[in-house]
Amino acid sequence: MRKNWLFSLLALGLTALTVQGGCVIIPEVKTKIVELVASGTACDTLDTTGDLNMHDDFDVADLSNLDIQQILEDAGIDVSDVDSVAVFGITYKTTQPDSRSDREIVNGNVTVTRGSYNSGTQVFTPSTGAVDVITNFNVLVNSVTTDQTAPVSAGGIALLNQILNDLLNEAKGLGPASNTAIQYHVTGVSNPQGIATDFKWRICVKINIKGKVEVDVVE
């Protein structure tokens, strides 16, 4: 009988301890401010058909096509709650391989120039000088590749970040952003020499945006 009471007391104590220790099992809803990250990508495909010995190409991309407002809406971030926007990297990939299995581009470089672009006349008007954004990349273009990380330079990244900040300010209603186009100039030695190139590749600028959201969390 005494033994039974001892067991009962032990069991009761265990029950009480379990329930009492249970702040973890009494959930409550708390509203918290969470820093969220949204990301976006601006890509352009280049066709190298016919280049001989030297791959040398100009193209223009308008970063205003990176719809910051839409990226934020998709992520549920109000533009007024955005802290910062920045380029986190540039990638390149071969989308259509060259017919020659030994085709490669060596000592490739990309510079960028900020300016405005008139799509009607197709005239680019620079507002800055050209700065390096990718330096000394080497790539075999005999097969379709996945995204490769480009070796980037501080000058070009700073220029791109400045355009992104102007676009963010525009989204916040702090005035229109101007000169949001970039002209990029790609150069590189095409091997084997004396045989025209015939491949396509794609370059992508990757950005991320940091903002705050209010979230109901249960704990």
Positions touching other proteins (CB under 8 A) are 4, 7-8, 10-12, 14-19, 21-25, 27, 29, 32-41, 71, 74-76, 84, 86-91, 146-154, 156-158, 161, 204, 206, 208-210, 213, 215-219
180 neighbors 60 (Cβ within 8 angstroms):
no
40 or 115: whose CB is closer to other proteins? 40
Query: Which has the closest alpha carbon to 92: 135, 39, 145?
Result: 145
The nearest distance, CB 53 to other proteins, in angstroms, is 29
The span from the CA of 180 to the CA of 182, in Å, is 7
The nearest distance, CB 147 to other proteins, in angstroms, is 4
Instruction: Provide φ and ψ at 123, rounded to 5°.
Output: -110, 130
43 or 195: whose CB is closer to other proteins? 43
Phi/psi class of residue 205: alpha, beta or left (left: φ > 0; alpha: ψ in -120 to 50)? beta
39 or 101: whose CB is closer to other proteins? 39
Q: Rounded to an integer, what is the distance from CA 144 to the centroid of its chain?
A: 21
Q: Rounded to an integer, what is the distance from CA 74 to the centroid of its chain?
A: 15
The nearest distance, CB 120 to other proteins, in angstroms, is 30
134 or 181: whose CB is closer to other proteins? 134
